Structure 1
Amino acid sequence: MPAHQGLRVFIIDDNEMTRDLLRAIIQGDSYDVVGDAGTAESARLRLRSVRADIICLDVVMPDGDGLSLLNWIRVKQPEAEVLMVTASTDRVTVEQSLRNGAKGYIVKPFNPGTVMDTLDKIGAQIKARRAAGRA
């Protein structure tokens, strides 16, 4: 039995402080942060060898956008759920993210309670889906 039973989380954001803050909020008994990336390209490279249950994804990055990366993730890691964590508040971006499979959308600046509440809802969905698959 693995020592850590938490769901695996991967963080993609071009701001190092945001990645560090999310890691500090998320890492614990329920979640294990298994990696992060600051660009779309580095995220693609790292996600080829790292499996995540939940991916926290920013929309605006220096070498691409989170919406394109969301579509790539849906193909390459279809079991992973995506939580958008971004400063982008325009309605089109929010709607497109959710339509393309994101399970949640958190606007920066965020508070730790909102992050954890949203992760817990997504985590409960993952665990229910896995339990149904074993039944």
Structure 2
Amino acid sequence: MSAKYGVSDKTIRCWVEQGYLAHTKINSITYVDEENLKACMEANARPGMGKGYLEREIRERQEEIDHIIAEYDDRLYLLKTHRNLRPLFELVIKDLAKHIDDPLACDIFFAISIGVPIEDVAKFNDLTVDRAICLYEETLRQLQELFH
């Protein structure tokens, strides 16, 4: 019965033990009524669990995994190439810094933009971290307005 209907022996035994299936035991063999088994299977069927359900679920999960891996591959590539582009970034940042009139704002913009930790920039300039961030963000807004 289990092979015929794709239900494990263990499941059938559980249904028998729980009293869901009418059965007869002769020697060590348990016989189950086929119609009763079909009714029990229908009663315990899960929506969407038909043929191919697990294959679709696995395929969808694999597609999600592939997408996430591709996204992280792109990020990893950018991080690796960033090291090679750093001298170019510094030149661009220095050029942008020339358009900042306030020397403190200029120093903060340059330092944070090239990757100096904000805490270090704030400490060096005797500022709070929040104040350094505020000055940096305001400088970015001014530069964006200037070049848009």
TM-score bucket (shorter structure) = under 0.3
Larger Rg: 2
Kindly indicate which of the two structures has a greater share of residues assigned to helix.
Answer: 2
Bigger relative CO (Cα 8 Å, ≥ 6 apart): 1
**TM-score, normalised via structure 1 length:** 0.25
Kindly indicate which of the two structures has a greater share of residues assigned to strand.
Answer: 1
